[in-house]
Amino acid sequence: MPIYEYHCLDCRRRSTLLIRTREEAEQPACSFCGSTRVQRIMSRFAAVKSEESRLESLSDPSRWSGVDENDPAGVARFVKRMGSELGEDLSREEIDQMADEAAHEAESGSGADEDAL
């Protein structure tokens, strides 16, 4: 059973599909929006790394250079790089959502911390 990757022409996301039958191969659909307007793309090469080696590479201080916590775009790029290193394929929307949630938690958490003091 082959695994193929497709690029959706509607939502512009990449889907990885396990093709079990001939019918699935003839009518692939985007796993995010369900569109059948997809193009098969070349799959990325994956090298297996241990969790320890991935975390070790993330702890390297040189990986943090150029990250300005006051620049949301720079933080988003770093988070995307970090997610890629950990094997997560994050979209811009997912990164934005996580950043918004973290900002909201920081705002609500800072008030709770001040009340505790």
What is the tens place of the pLDDT at every residue in 11-55? 999 988 888 888 777 889 998 999 999 999 987 666 677 778 777
Angle at 78 between CA 77 and CA 80, to 5 degrees: 65
Going by pLDDT thresholds of 50, 70 and 90, the confidence category of residue 111 is very low
In the chain, domain spans? 3-41, 51-116
Mean model confidence pLDDT for the chain? 76
Predicted local confidence at residue 117, as pLDDT: 44
Question: pTM to 2 decimals?
Answer: 0.39
116 CB burial (10 A radius; 0-12, 13-18, 19+): exposed
Going by pLDDT thresholds of 50, 70 and 90, the confidence category of residue 113 is very low
